[in-house]
Amino acid sequence: MVAFQIRELNGIDRAWVARLLEERWGSTRIVTRGRIHHAETLPGFVAAQEDKRIGLLTYCIEGEECEIVSLNSLVERIGVGSALIAAAKNTAVSAHCKRLWLITTNDNLAAMRFYQKRGFVLVAVHRNALAESRRLKPEIPLIGIDDIPLRDEIELEMELVCEQSTGMGS
């Protein structure tokens, strides 16, 4: 087992976050459900092995929902992505969110497997949503993984149970 730690993003990480997002996402702007996120400014978590960053998750909390905006594991199959999701889930529960959710694209079958194995449920297919997303972020390619045309946003969610006082005396 390879040891790594999960910690909150801090100011020192911001330049690395911007470089990683540019490299992996084509931009620091990430579009989900018709909204532009400036992911390099969002809160998040870093997975680190000693002084080397090996994973990133950014999120956005609005009301009772927490959206995972980006997730990147730079070292596969050692639990980085799972640990980052657990950190986001804990943060969402602490913020009294009722839902942890994310968007992936129709070509990303590996992501759909990954998220479902970790308790997410597919809740919507937003047909042709990437046509609108490309108006906001033109660098989104037309063709994705395995030469699959990029068309749809796939929405997955995990319902959260927040511990709350019942107010009942003993």
| Helical residues (DSSP H) of the chain, grouped into ranges | 14-25, 80-94, 109-117, 129-136
Q: What is residue 169's predicted lDDT score, i.e. its pLDDT?
A: 46
CA distance 134 to 149: 13
What band does 49 get if pLDDT is binned at 50, 70 and 90? very high
What band does 165 get if pLDDT is binned at 50, 70 and 90? very low
Q: What is residue 141's predicted lDDT score, i.e. its pLDDT?
A: 95
| Helical residues (DSSP H) of 72-158, grouped into ranges | 80-94, 109-117, 129-136
What band does 161 get if pLDDT is binned at 50, 70 and 90? confident
Q: What is the CATH number of domain 5-159?
A: 3.40.630.30
Average pLDDT for 118-138: 97
Cα–Cα–Cα angle for 15, 28, 147, nearest 5°? 125
Least confident of 68-72, 85-89, 126-130, 158-162: 158-162
Average pLDDT for 134-159: 97
Decide the pairing of beta strands 65-73 and 99-105.
parallel
Q: What is residue 39's predicted lDDT score, i.e. its pLDDT?
A: 97
**Model-level pTM?**
0.92
Q: What is residue 163's predicted lDDT score, i.e. its pLDDT?
A: 55
Q: What is the pLDDT of residues 23-33, one digit of tens each?
A: 999 999 999 99
CA distance 4 to 125: 35
Average pLDDT for 31-44: 96
Report residue 86 as tokens. 């657990």
Residue 9 contacts residue 43 (beta carbons within 8 Å): yes
What band does 162 get if pLDDT is binned at 50, 70 and 90? low
| AA letter at 74 | L
* H or E element, residue 25: helix 14-25
| AA letter at 7 | R
Dihedral over Cα of 32, 127, 134, 34: its sign: negative
